[in-house]
Amino acid sequence: MKITIVGTGYVGLITGTCFANAGNNVTCLDIDPKKVETLNKGEAPFFEPGLSEMMTKSINAGRLDFSDDSSTAFTGSDIIFICVGTPTGNDGKCDLSYVLGVADDISKVLDTFDTPPVVVVKSTVPVGTTHRVAERLHGEYFIANNPEFLREGNAIDDFRTPDRVVCGVESEEAQAALEQLYAPFTGDGHPLLFFDIHSSEMVKYASNAMLACKISFINEIASLCERNGANIERVRTGMCADSRIGNQFFKPGIGYGGSCFPKDTLAVMEMGDNANAPCLVNTAVHELNQRQRRWFANRILEHFDNDLTGKKVALWGLAFKPNTDDVRDAPSIDIAKTLIDAGAEVTGFDPEAWETYGSEVPEVTIVSNMYEAAADADALVICTEWDEFSSPDFDLLKAKLKDQVIFDGRNLYIRAEMARHGFHYYSVGRPTLEICTA
């Protein structure tokens, strides 16, 4: 099939590359000419394991190319995927201007098609948006919605072996085209589900809202544990043994970040307000997530009597989660800003997010080695659970740090071991022990 993908962010680029790899001819359109130039060389503009290799293979096979020309990129396409961003606008509402702008671009060329294309909204959009896209298309087409569930850092596997593919359709033509396209990725254990368009749009928001809810819920219980002398890790183990609860997305920490959960939770709240049906759970989930970041930053401030003048803090983990260089709405940003405002000098390390972080918090000095970041620091703060941080050389770390204080926002270490090494160790939802015997 001939496919046009609009937007080469995480979703567009992974989608385009995986469809090309499956034998389709794919053109990816983006308004950023510099990005397009880089992409045509086979270079991914962000870190995603295995992506560049897969892009290069499909480019060399003549099945994948990139363009910034909307007058030609749609030529002869059977299916067009809209994969542009739907960020939270300055007014706190979901900004649909990119999605609707693409609809106008498609509309301009609709009369050049011999066969009406299927126009698919893949961006995460509030219920009703796919129909708003359709209203702007003047000509012949078949409309569909197909939300994406990939996780950054595991995106290629998620796309190729999905838990499910959800499509919203209202024509046999759109359903047949999507069935054909997704056939290599669906089947036994990987269902391809067809719903009405509104339900398909809602599945995406409801799924992200549920996952965000699990994270805020366990963080709320962690907070209760700390105040009542319980240990959240044991409580969690006990809870997760119940198969109805499960153990995914249920780890205490400093909350969720990234380009999806924060904005999608806000968008659900907006949908509720618009429908005069306020979403109380989602509102609490969002507020708890904000509170968790503030609580962690305040814990560091309190340790230093609210004055970090002349103090040096090492920050391990800048990306919003491991295996990505994405720092959008990363907890590390709020934490670093709070520490800097209190007078600290902050040195950061991340295995991948060294370039992306610089523009977010330029005051943070980025170094290329985790122990270098810790050199002469009055405290180490851990914001992201990269594998590299899970079993460091504690003797070396101790020797590097000026003061052996660790604030672990991801509960990476065993408290008894930290006590044995002589660290003053703070974690989330577990009693702080300087001397621990169990």
Ligand X SMILES: NC(=O)c1ccc[n+]([C@@H]2O[C@H](COP(=O)([O-])OP(=O)(O)OC[C@H]3O[C@@H](n4cnc5c(N)ncnc54)[C@H](O)[C@@H]3O)[C@@H](O)[C@H]2O)c1
Query: Residue 308 gets which letter from DSSP?
Result: -
Query: Could you give the angle at the alpha carbon of 141 between the alpha carbons of 111 and 120, nearest 5°?
Result: 125
Mask for 283-322, x = binds ligand X (CB under 6 A):
----------------------------------------
Give the residue with the Cβ less far from ligand X, 84 or 314.
84
| Sequence-ordered list of residues with C-beta below 8 angstroms from that of 129, at least 6 positions apart, any chain | 96, 99, 121, 201
CA nearest to 204, candidates 172, 155, 156, 168: 168
Residues 6+ apart with CB under 8 A from 222: 232, 252, 428, 429
The pairing of beta strand 142-145 with beta strand 165-169: antiparallel
Q: Which residue is nearest to ligand X (CB)?
A: 9
Q: Which of 216, 259, 323, 411 binds ligand X (CB under 6 A)?
A: 259
Smallest gap from residue 102 Cβ to ligand X (A): 5
CB 158 to ligand X: min, Å:
9
Candidates 9, 116, 139, 272: give the one binding ligand X (CB under 6 A): 9
Residues 141-180 that bind ligand X (CB under 6 A): 148, 150, 152
* CB closer to ligand X, 181 vs 370: 181
Backbone phi, psi, residue 302, to 5°: -60, -40
- Measured from the CB atom, the residue of 96 and 288 that comes closer to ligand X is 96
Q: How far apart are CA 190 and CA 164, in angstroms?
A: 5
For residue 270, the minimal CB distance to ligand X (Å) is 14
260 included as an active-site residue: yes
Question: Which residue, 106, 226, 92, 81, is CA-closest to 167?
Answer: 81
Q: Closer to ligand X at the Cβ: 145 or 411?
A: 145
Closest to ligand X by CB, 32 vs 307, is 32
Q: Where are the beta strands (DSSP E) in 285-328?
A: 312-316
Q: How many CB atoms lie within 10 A of CB 379?
A: 25
Contact 218, 251 (CB under 8 A): yes
Name the catalytic one among 83, 260, 279, 383.
260
CB 389 within 8 A of CB 382: yes
Residues binding ligand X: number (CB under 6 A): 26
Segment 365 to 424, residues that bind ligand X, using CB under 6 A: none
Question: Which of these ranges, 1-9, 16-24, 181-189, 335-343, lies near ligand X under the rule CB under 6 A?
Answer: 1-9
Question: Applying CB under 6 A, which of residues 4, 8, 25, 427 lies at the interface with ligand X?
Answer: 8
Contact status: 124 vs ligand X (CB under 6 A) = yes
Q: Residue 112 or residue 298: which is nearer to ligand X going by CB? A: 112
For residue 339, what are the contacts with CB-CB under 8 A and spacing of at least 6? 297, 300, 301, 308, 313, 346, 381
> What φ, ψ does residue 145 adopt, rounded to 5°?
-125, 140
CB of 295 to ligand X, least distance (A): 26
Chain residues 24-83 in contact with ligand X, contact rule CB under 6 A:
29-32, 35, 83
3-state class (DSSP) for residue 68: coil
Q: Which is nearer to ligand X, 32 or 372 (CB)?
A: 32
Min dist. Cβ of residue 351 to ligand X (A): 19
Interface of this chain with ligand X, residues 84 to 123, rule: CB under 6 A: 84-86, 98, 101-102, 123
Q: Tokens standing for 204?
A: 């995406």
CA distance 350 to 348: 7
Which residues would be at the binding site for ligand X (CB under 6 A)? 6-12, 29-32, 35, 83-86, 98, 101-102, 123-124, 148, 150, 152, 259-260
Residues annotated as catalytic (active site), given as ranges: 260
